[in-house]
Amino acid sequence: MKIIAHRGASAYAPENTLKAFSLAVKMGATAFEFDVHQTKDGLLVVHHDFDLNRTAQKNVRIADLAYADLEKINVARHFKRDSSFQRVPRLEEVMDIIEAPASWLNFEVKNDGNVYPGIEEKVLAFLKSKPGLFEKAVVSSFDHGTLERFRERSPELKLSYLGHGLSTMLLLPALKKAKAIGAVNFHMALRLAFRLNVAKIKKAGFRVCVYTVNAKKDALRMKEIGVDGIFTNHPDILGDWALEG
């Protein structure tokens, strides 16, 4: 079972910052998840929300800022344990830290309603810009149109399905959508990660990863029911990196 550092070691450092990714590497992480956006001047950056309300307490959207302005803003203001200055990093800066130790990388592309036209081409170009990166990468998105555009542009790219408001009742339609785009992974919320649901998804041919698992008892339960990976803010959740696989 993969232990996937969710936005880096985000229980111990501000999420999706260079500090969080550096710490995850020090903790032994070899699988990582992060969120990709695009600035007004077309740079790929890593941050979870479309705006900075939560992380920086500033009512501004990433899409409306050039990176020269974005990088001046402290996105650690929300993190009580350490609110010292951390900026939104560029995607290539994150890769400089995690690419070498990584065996698996989840690029979650935030593009609801195609707010970042052309981001698919930029992400694909980035994945192909470094030897071996494309092979390590899985691209996910809550926006189905984004996944469809990725598939149209690259038949070989590994995609993961993510569903808004997914429930057990909606699982079958979601699996059909995931098959339609040729996804290899299916990422689901912990609240739905029961043995029967996991078995259904795996029987349909997908690898199952569950978010966000921050209690050791839940991590052990996920391993026991056959989950392929867990997204966690605690890369040390099991204290045994031999469980990677």
Provide the CA 179 distance to its chain's centre, in angstroms: 20
Alpha carbons 218 and 231: distance in angstroms, whole number: 11
Q: Is 47 a catalytic residue?
A: no
pLDDT at 240 over 80: no
Which residue among 37, 47, 48, 234 is the active-site one?
48
Alpha carbons 39 and 62: distance in angstroms, whole number: 6
Q: Is 6 a catalytic residue?
A: yes
DSSP character for 90? B
Q: Which of 57-61, 83-87, 159-163, 183-187 has the lowest mean pLDDT?
A: 159-163
Provide the CA 40 distance to its chain's centre, in angstroms: 22
Which residue among 6, 37, 187, 234 is the active-site one?
6
Q: Token match 């997204």: residue?
A: 231
List the chain domain ranges. 2-243
Percentage of residues of the chain with pLDDT beyond 90: 94
Q: Which CATH number fits domain 2-243: 3.40.50.970, 3.20.20.190, 3.90.226.10, 3.40.50.2300?
A: 3.20.20.190
- E-strand stretches of 104-220: 104-109, 137-141, 159-162, 185-189, 207-211
Please provide the DSSP assignment of 204-237 as one string. Answer: TT-EEEEE---SHHHHHHHHHTT-SEEEES-TTS
E strand or H helix at 3, and its extent? strand 2-6
Convert the pLDDT of each residue in 190-233 to its tens digit.
Answer: 999 999 999 999 999 999 999 999 999 999 999 999 999 999 99
What type of residue sits at position 108? Answer: E
Please say whether the beta carbons of 62 and 37 come within 8 A.
Answer: yes
**How many Cβ atoms from other residues are within 10 Å of residue 49's Cβ?**
17
Convert the pLDDT of each residue in 94-146 to its tens digit.
Answer: 999 999 999 999 999 999 999 999 999 999 999 999 999 999 999 999 999 99
**How many Cβ atoms from other residues are within 10 Å of residue 192's Cβ?**
16
Q: 207-211 and 31-38: which strand pairing?
A: unpaired
Is pTM beyond 0.85? Reply is yes
